[in-house]
């Protein structure tokens, strides 16, 4: 497997933030992925989808980074199912389902990212989660073994699955039952319109910064707003005016700018609501004390 050295991660990540990867490989098949994992043996590795949910530190990643490519981008619609490689984009999955008249994929319209990232994050909307549609998903272990998981084995929860963090998802089979084509088109269109109206697509972001703490607490965006953080800016980063749970990169933002906004938001929410907000986004390349400031595990 060919490893590239000192690869800038900012251009590969949706936030356009982050220093270089010391080593980066782009496996195009399960064989290449297993070889890359063997090369990386003994070192924690990281998998980057589109970085639509990751804040990468300004110093980058000392850990080897894997970006799936080639055959991992496949999408195949069959009778009652869609099989997708982990590098296939979620909106492409939604588009394939819409064109084939398959029900239940509208919520991937306008969710940036890959199937692999979606499996890891259990991406979804308030009502629908990715794993609700999964028949099985396959992952490669650090030892190069291919494992097939059923949903009950992955134990999907809110933006979380109980699958070792060093396993790499490679493929999933989704249940995709035929439905009424007009109703499906309408569901996709209205979902996309609502997302684009209420959230921020014109500036780089990584979506919702904080997990919703759940009842009896208000939604995370409301807490951010009520502690006066909407619109607050540090360097090139700003708590979005349109959606207070988004932090956008206005141009030239550094990871430190985003971290400062997160730390201040969390401090204020703790004081005002006695709630310790937990990041929904994943943080790479930060020191333990930086992670602790924003409540990252």
Ligand X SMILES: Cc1cc2nc3c(=O)[nH]c(=O)nc-3n(C[C@H](O)[C@H](O)[C@H](O)COP(=O)(O)OP(=O)(O)OC[C@H]3O[C@@H](n4cnc5c(N)ncnc54)[C@H](O)[C@@H]3O)c2cc1C
Supply the residues annotated as catalytic.
159, 208, 280
Minimum CB–partner distance for residue 55 and ligand X (Å) = 9
Member of 54, 88, 134, 229 binding ligand X (CB under 6 A) = 54
52 near ligand X (CB under 6 A)? yes
Member of 16, 23, 45, 46 binding ligand X (CB under 6 A) = 46
114 near ligand X (CB under 6 A)? yes
Residues 6+ apart with CB under 8 A from 235: 252, 253, 254, 256, 257, 260
Task: For residues 94 and 25, give the distance between their C-alpha atoms in angstroms, rounded to a whole number.
Answer: 28
# residues near ligand X by CB under 6 A: 32
282 near ligand X (CB under 6 A)? yes
Q: Which residues pair with 248 in a beta bridge?
A: 238
Say whether the peptide bond before residue 216 is cis (omega within 30 degrees of 0). Answer: yes
Contact map string, positions 90 to 109, toward ligand X, x by CB under 6 A: --------------------
Tell me the angle at which helices 90-99 and 181-198 cross, rounded to the nearest 10 degrees: 150
Closest residue by beta carbon to ligand X: 49
The interface with ligand X within residues 4-23 (CB under 6 A) comprises 14
Count the neighbouring beta carbons within 10 Å of the beta carbon of residue 70: 14
The interface with ligand X within residues 173-212 (CB under 6 A) comprises 199, 201, 205-207
The interface with ligand X within residues 22-41 (CB under 6 A) comprises none
Minimum CB–partner distance for residue 58 and ligand X (Å) = 18
118 near ligand X (CB under 6 A)? yes
User: Candidates 44-52, 173-181, 253-261, 268-276 — which segment interacts with ligand X by CB under 6 A?
Assistant: 44-52
51 near ligand X (CB under 6 A)? yes
The answer to whether 133 and 172 are in contact (CB under 8 A) is no
User: Candidates 46-54, 228-236, 257-265, 268-276 — which segment interacts with ligand X by CB under 6 A?
Assistant: 46-54
Residues in contact with ligand X by the rule CB under 6 A? 14, 46-54, 68, 86, 111-114, 116-118, 120-121, 123-125, 168-169, 199, 201, 205-207, 282
């Amino acid at each position: 497997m060919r490893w590239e050295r000192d690869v800038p991660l900012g251009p590969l990540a949706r936030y356009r933030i982050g220093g270089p990867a010391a080593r980066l490989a782009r496996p195009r098949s399960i064989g290449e992925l297993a070889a890359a994992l063997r090369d990386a043996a003994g070192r924690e590795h990281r998998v980057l989808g589109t970085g639509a949910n990751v804040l990468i530190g300004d110093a980058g990643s000392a850990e080897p980074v894997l970006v799936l490519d080639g055959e991992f981008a496949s999408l195949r619609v069959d009778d009652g199912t869609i099989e997708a490689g982990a590098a296939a984009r979620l909106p492409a999955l939604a588009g394939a389902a819409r064109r084939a008249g398959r029900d239940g994929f509208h919520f991937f319209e306008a969710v940036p990212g890959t199937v692999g990232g979606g499996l890891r994050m259990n991406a979804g909307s308030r009502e629908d989660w990715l794993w609700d549609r999964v028949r099985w998903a396959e992952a490669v272990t650090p030892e190069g073994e291919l494992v097939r998981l059923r949903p009950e084995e992955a134990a999907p929860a809110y933006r979380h699955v109980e699958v070792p963090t060093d396993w790499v998802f490679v493929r999933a089979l989704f249940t995709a039952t035929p439905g009424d084509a007009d109703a499906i088109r309408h569901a996709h269109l209205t979902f996309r319109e609502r997302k684009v109206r209420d959230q921020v697509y014109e500036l780089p972001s990584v979506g919702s910064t904080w997990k919703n703490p759940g009842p009896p607490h208000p939604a995370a965006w409301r807490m951010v707003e009520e502690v006066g953080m909407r619109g607050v800016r540090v360097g090139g980063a700003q708590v979005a005016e349109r959606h207070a749970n988004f932090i956008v990169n206005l141009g030239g933002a550094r990871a430190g700018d985003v971290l400062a906004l997160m730390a201040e938001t969390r401090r204020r929410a703790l004081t005002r609501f006695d709630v310790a907000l937990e990041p929904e986004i994943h943080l790479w390349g930060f020191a333990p004390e930086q992670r602790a400031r924003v409540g990252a595990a």
